[in-house]
Amino acid sequence: MTSQAPPDGASRFGFRRPSIYYGWYIVVATGFVMTIATVPLFHAMTLWAVALENQFGWPRGQLSLALTLTRIEGGLMGPLEGYLTDKLGGRKMVLIGFIILGLGFLIFWQIDAGFWPVAPLYMFYVAYMVMAAGQGMGSWVPMMTTINNWFSRRMATAMGWANFMSRGGALIVIPLIDLGINGSVGVPFTNYTLNIGRTIGWENVALILAVVILAVAGPLAYLIRNRPEDMGLQAEGTAPAQQARRGAAAQTQPQGLTAQQAVRTPAFWLIAVGHGMTSMIILAIFTHLGLLLKDAGLQEYAGTVVILYTIISMFSQPLGGYVGDRFPKRIGLFVFTTIQASAVVLLTFSTELWMFYAFAVIFGIGFGGRNPLTTSIRGEYFGRGNFGKILGISTIPMNGLLLISSPFAGYMYDWTGTYTVAFLVLAGFNYAGGVCFLFAKRPQIPTTPEATPTPAIPVPASGDS
């Protein structure tokens, strides 16, 4: 299973340069996919929101409704995305999803064009729903399923590094979007603003993103391989002897729980509800952080705060993966989500720039650390065979919670003139979600191949590095 290289100088002295396990290339591809599909749509929403409010004057409740519609779409599409991922594989899903996502950005580019039969606000909703459909089909569910297929012993670490790369990509994408829309970007921990003296406008930024997404769809999909068995390899961390004992039955029978068995376990619902509760504030922040800074007279630092928490979360991702591979994931999730909720409490009462920077640091630690664990805990609890379906079904209760968070914050602001009540309520949900994770214990169902796990034999896959 290891490719044989011709003898070189290293092999003549008794050692060979180790080949790199292809699963790590999947991790790199996942980082690129998540950067391109997720960052412009969700992480940059705070920049789009300020630009759209300035141009159209839409109330904040109506602005935040766009993310609500994406969560309704996500709840309806989630099970289908999971089913199609298990049926078609991540490779085809990324290609299909990126084409839809690129078309969505083309619609976003022209939301105020005169040829549409409805007002720009409604075309904004349409554009965001199309983009969310493409993002859902071509990023999180298929790529997390693919990593789950390729890794066993170091699954949380692999997911952590994939998210690390996506945050690193965000450090490039967010400033570029900020410069394109506003012509300036602030430098963290300083009052200095880099100003290029000109802007291209949010519409042209959307057009550029559409072109880039459509251009990279094919090359990224080409790099992806759905399962290690497709290349004559095995999942990282699976011992060859253990693989041989399973024989042909392991290739014909699903590994782990079926989707029907998973939804009957308390762990499934505790994880899904916990994930939803701890993500509610994240969607609200994606929409309203820039508007909150605008109210504080610090609008030019919106991109800077996003960049700062992105930097911190980037380094917190591998930390979360390390913790998840060495300690119970449910405890790690409780710790990181509690840190995230505490940051939101600080944000609620922030009035000075240094307070927003402190929020960004604390939030980045919690937000980054929880990310690889929310997905890898499902792989550990429910196995590989039906991971896509299980992940897709779990988006239904998750999105049921997410769809209320951003408009709740927006309408509470329109009603009270402040975000205080909304953010404190969402922080409370965040704390409660951490408790859900804490009580999510691994299910034991003896009728499935992985319900009663055998101790892992620490033999890495061929070429693991």
Taking domain 21-238+254-438, whether its CATH number is 3.40.50.300 is answered by no
Total-model pTM:
0.71
What percentage of the chain reaches a pLDDT higher than 70?
A: 85
State the Cα–Cα distance between residues 399 and 74, nearest whole angstrom: 7
Whole-number Å distance between alpha carbons of 448 and 133: 33
Q: What is the pLDDT of residues 380-405, one digit of tens each?
A: 898 877 888 888 888 888 877 877 88
- Identify the sign of the CA torsion 107, 109, 113, 118: positive
**Across residues 136-147, what is the average pLDDT?**
89
Which one has a higher pLDDT value, 355 or 2?
A: 355
Q: Which residue has the higher pLDDT, 82 or 446?
A: 82
Q: Is 430 exposed, middle or buried (0-12, 13-18, 19+ CB in 10 A)?
A: buried
What gap in Å lies between CA 50 and CA 178, rounded to an integer? Answer: 11
Q: 187 or 114: which carries more pLDDT confidence?
A: 114
What's the rounded Cα separation, in Å, for the pair 63 and 43? 15
Q: Each residue of 29-38: pLDDT tens digit? A: 999 999 999 8
Q: How many residues does the chain have?
A: 465
Each as own residue / partner, the long-range contacts of residues 178-181 (CB below 8 Å, 24 or more positions apart, any chain) are 178/47, 178/302, 178/303, 180/204, 180/205, 180/208, 181/47, 181/48, 181/51, 181/205
DSSP at 417: S
* Higher per-residue confidence, 82 vs 119: 119
DSSP 3-state of 350: coil
The residue-averaged pLDDT of 109-121 equals 92
Q: What is the DSSP letter of 184?
A: E
- For residues 374 and 387, what is the distance between their CA atoms, to the nearest angstrom? 13
Tell me what pLDDT residue 383 has. Answer: 82
Q: In the predicted model, is pLDDT for residue 117 greater than 70?
A: yes
Instruction: Output the average pLDDT for the chain.
Output: 83
Query: Where do we find the tokens 């289908």?
Result: 80
Cα-based distances in Å from 64 to 83, 123, 397: 29, 14, 20
Contacts of 20 (CB under 8 A, 6+ apart): 463, 465
Check residue 74 and give its pLDDT.
Answer: 65
Check residues 232 and 341 and name the one with the higher pLDDT: 341
% pLDDT > 90, the chain:
40
What pLDDT sits at residue 343? 96
Model pLDDT for residues 298-314, shown as the tens digit of each residue: 888 888 888 898 889 98
The 8-class DSSP code of residue 450 comes to T
DSSP 114-182: TTSSS-HHHHHHHHHHHHHHHHHHHTHHHHHHHHHHHBSTTHHHHHHHHHHHHHHHHHHHHHHHHHHHH
Contact of 320 with 160, CB cutoff 8 Å: yes
